[in-house]
């Protein structure tokens, strides 16, 4: 019976060339899907949070890591097809860390044809001189870096600053603030800078880190290692990221659900007295499905996962059109 059903083609073993061609086709298909997903998600985040508007000049902060390279790459692609006009300028801060390959970024940026500025400031020596050996340098280093980048943005006439944080960074930040700061505070996709001067945007807000790893490998970005300063990445951040990755492996979709939850908050079911007037609550006599179920267990904890971020069917201005990809 099986002989009848099996075509000769199906049973014939593939030659090495045929196998390689089949694998290459599959890889190209997957990369195409990844490209469409990334551009769609970035376009959607930009639209949902109105990140980029007509006439904006966006300073795209480039560290030389996979996230910022991907952000610049995708923004440049979206810019070409956007119905609005905005400028992008890539900016890197060369902090004079030992071994920093100063030519890598300028060469890459010239090659892709984006306007750029490399700001050279030896913050490495400043931090080394001030912070005792063995202590973490990140807090002073980032404060110095922030001040310099604001000045550069001002000098370049930029009104927006784009940072390469992604979905996983945002979830980890929320958990870190809960675990160590006793507060429900995440990392927003858009916010005014602390000096009040710029709008900071995170166009990769909807993007999963794994996708950025794969995109970066596909595009072969010339990655600059981030450990040149010799400082350890915040250990608790590393552990929290590991934890959510393990959860996600065991319960696929958990990171997405946590991320979606950040945009789906029911203030009456939290306990922040500044945000909800608990003191004035009175019985209304009107049934409310959102009201307290009193003694019932909360069934929502086992309900279908919430819709992932980036709903379909909305009118958008910077949407990636798959048919043109
Ligand atoms: S890891 Fe190094 S470069 Fe990054 S913030 Fe910390 S000290 Fe600065």
Q: Are strands 190-192 and 199-201 parallel, antiparallel or unpaired?
A: antiparallel
User: Which tens digits make up the pLDDT trace of 42-56?
Assistant: 999 999 999 999 999
Chain mean pLDDT for the chain: 89
pLDDT beyond 50 at 2: no
Cross-strand partners of 91:
61, 117
pLDDT of residue 166: 98
Contacts of range 193-199, beta carbons closer than 8 Å, 24 or more positions apart: 193/150, 193/161, 194/146, 195/150, 197/150, 197/153, 197/154, 198/150, 198/153, 198/158, 198/159, 198/160, 198/161, 199/159, 199/160, 199/161
Is the CB of residue 142 below 6 angstroms from any atom belonging to ligand 1? yes
pLDDT of residue 14: 86
Is the CB of residue 139 below 6 angstroms from any atom belonging to ligand 1? no
Residue in 47, 303, 67, 36 with CA at minimum distance from that of residue 168: 67
Low-confidence winner among 84-98, 132-146, 160-174, 197-211 (lowest mean pLDDT): 132-146
pLDDT of residue 12: 79
Q: How far is CA 291 from CA 286, 296, 299, 313, in A?
A: 10, 12, 13, 30
pLDDT beyond 70 at 303: no
State which ligand 1 atom lies nearest to the alpha carbon of 232.
1
Kindly give the distance from the C-alpha atom of residue 95 to the centroid of ligand 1, in angstroms, as a whole number.
10
Average pLDDT in the 272-301 region? 87
Is the CB of residue 232 below 6 angstroms from any atom belonging to ligand 1? no
pLDDT of residue 107: 98
Low-confidence winner among 148-157, 167-176, 297-306 (lowest mean pLDDT): 297-306
Is the CB of residue 234 below 6 angstroms from any atom belonging to ligand 1? no
pLDDT beyond 90 at 268: yes
Contact residues for 180 (Cβ-Cβ < 8 A; gap 6+): 236
Say which residue, 162 or 305, is predicted with more confidence.
162
pLDDT of residue 310: 41
pLDDT of residue 9: 52
Nearest residue by C-alpha to atom 5 in ligand 1 = 138
DSSP state of 302: G
pLDDT of residue 300: 59
Nearest residue by C-alpha to atom 6 in ligand 1 = 138
Is the CB of residue 137 below 6 angstroms from any atom belonging to ligand 1? yes
Kindly give the distance from the C-alpha atom of residue 227 to the centroid of ligand 1, in angstroms, as a whole number.
8
Low-confidence winner among 6-15, 34-43, 175-184, 247-256 (lowest mean pLDDT): 6-15
State which ligand 1 atom lies nearest to the alpha carbon of 233.
1
Site to substitute for ligand 1 among 229, 232, 233, most atoms within 8 A of C-beta: 229
Distance CA 324, CA 188 (A): 31
Say which residue, 142 or 273, is predicted with more confidence.
273
Nearest residue by C-alpha to atom 3 in ligand 1 = 229
């Amino acid at each position: 019976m099986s002989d009848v059903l099996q075509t000769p083609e199906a049973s014939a073993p593939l030659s090495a060339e045929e196998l390689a061609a089949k694998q290459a086709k599959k890889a190209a298909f997957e990369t195409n899907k990844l490209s469409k997903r990334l551009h769609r998600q970035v376009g959607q985040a930009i639209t949902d949070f109105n990140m980029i508007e007509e006439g904006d000049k966006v300073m795209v902060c480039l560290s030389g890591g996979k996230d910022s390279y991907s952000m610049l790459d995708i923004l440049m692609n979206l810019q070409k097809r956007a119905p609005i006009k905005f400028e992008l300028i890539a900016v890197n801060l060369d902090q004079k860390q030992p071994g920093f390959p100063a030519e890598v970024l300028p060469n890459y940026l010239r090659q892709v044809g984006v306007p750029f500025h490399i700001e050279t400031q030896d913050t490495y020596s400043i931090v080394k001189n001030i912070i005792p050996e063995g202590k973490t340098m990140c807090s002073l280093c980032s404060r110095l870096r922030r001040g310099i980048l604001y000045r550069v943005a001002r000098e370049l006439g930029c009104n927006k600053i784009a940072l390469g944080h992604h979905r996983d960074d945002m979830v980890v930040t929320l958990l870190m603030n809960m675990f160590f700061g006793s507060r429900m505070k995440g990392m927003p996709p858009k916010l005014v800078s602390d000096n009040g001067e710029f709008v900071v945007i995170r166009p990769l807000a909807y993007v999963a880190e794994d996708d950025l790893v794969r995109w970066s490998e596909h595009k072969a970005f010339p990655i600059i290692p981030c450990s040149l300063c010799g400082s350890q990445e915040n250990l608790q951040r590393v552990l929290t990221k590991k934890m959510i990755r393990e959860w996600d492996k065991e319960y696929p979709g958990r990171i997405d659900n946590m991320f979606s939850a950040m945009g789906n908050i029911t203030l009456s079911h939290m306990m922040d007295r500044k945000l909800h007037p608990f003191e004035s609550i009175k019985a209304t006599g009107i049934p409310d499905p959102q009201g307290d179920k009193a003694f019932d267990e909360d069934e929502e904890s086992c309900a279908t996962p919430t819709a992932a971020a980036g709903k379909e069917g909305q009118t958008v201005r910077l949407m990636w059109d798959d048919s043109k990809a």
